[in-house]
Structure 1
């Protein structure tokens, strides 16, 4: 009886099952969250970036003309000095003795010259009245001329000795600041070894090399921005002051110099600086942040040489909330922005975040809203 009941139940299940229909929910379209910004016209500064060491506008190394030990330093590093003021003095005892000897020798010759002039005048008067012979007169005159020449020679010797004595005091050739002292009191000064440097720091300069390609964009007077590590939040302004008229034949590079006002002497020679020279201004172009652009680099060989080709792409959101990939024709690009000639139009919705997750035609929604 129990078996018959189970068979009836199974039969009823078989009869009922074919009439049942399964309910399948429709699949939801997946939308990628993005952030957008409206494309607009703008402007961008064309620039050339480089780096270099800061140098004083003028730096002069000062040497001792006399190989002798330093007797005293009158200045220290950082001191202000004017042209002609003493920096140091070397020992000058030997030179002083030479001056004294030259003075004594000159004095002795001048005394003899005075006495011989008296003899000459007397002999000349006697010769006029035929009291002495012509031979005696010529002899005295010859002695006077010889002695006069000796006096002039002694004067020259004394002048040389005095000049050497003056050279024992090392003076500043220009006005400025003592940048560095290379010796200490008691050290041996040599004509080949600088004693100190004098720098003028009211302006400082930065020198860097530019390629042949970059050289065509540079001109005198172009504004420049300078950044140093010591003052990361401050930008110093300067201008291109020199462009080398020749290129290095080995590197094909030209030396460029930028001059920066430095009246407060904040910028120090030897500092490492980054420099950006503004070479032009592009206006009325679509300018977008560089980080929103996808870059694709390929290597192509032309005329036996490898060339790197770089393509730029961006995504926009169309009226159907779909992502459209656009290839951009780039006019100019720097580390922050890109100027676009074609590929985008003013007023379009540019994807500025989430673009790396997109492909052409995928549905999108605004991030954080759940809406398209």
Structure 2
């Protein structure tokens, strides 16, 4: 073997190993998330076997046909558990990908929709929408998107105009999060009707999700996914910094704004039907990056699948462990995410350690 061939062969072996590892990781994550989804559909006050589950989903009542429980079981599965499972999968995927995009665009691994106020902005939009009497799925989704988008732009302008450090951006986001939550709470206190509507929304959860409420947000989430997954290369270039992007010829300002809009769209759409779920956009991207690195073409799909499975698992635990009562999944998320955020904050306490 010639000396000049060795680096190339070593590089090929490395790439082949990396691709194989990535394929195994992706396949394992998909299987795990699908298994959690099937368990979520089967388990509850009325349990189903997998055969009964797929029989009902396929159009027949399975072994329960002819029994008094057939219609009840079918109704519970199709109109309670199925929309709830779909909602938890969509919300987890959307918030995880939104967090990963924000971290890349802002060059800050502690950025996430819940920490820098994006979720709170979406929540304020939904609260004002309810106060105005607009309760349609499309109206709520648009209000949540508008609130999250305004919040993202405030954070972005703050980070650019003040030349703030990465720690300062996070602290500014935490302060903005508190302000937006205070405004939303003030609206609910002054309007008792809004207060009743916002109880479930403030703690986050999927117990009241319906297909009608879910459909508008689902369309927005899927559209944002399609755009992001086709622009992974551009996102990688933006992540490298302005000088590198401009050297390549990429209009970095336009793409940065586009990615911020898509991140806000994902967070706002998820909040519109799931309420305020915290720390998903922080926890999931952090652990996925340790497995895949920063390449968006691998990071974003795995974040979506992992986030979907994680939130679905938390939702299943919240309704099964405390049965016959149900712990709002947003509370469980905060119990898990709070300590993780503190650990990451300690780890990245020096600004130079974010990169």
Normalized against structure 2, the TM-score is what? 0.18
Give the number of the structure whose alpha-carbon radius of gyration is greater. 1
Tell me which protein shows more strand as a share of its residues: 1
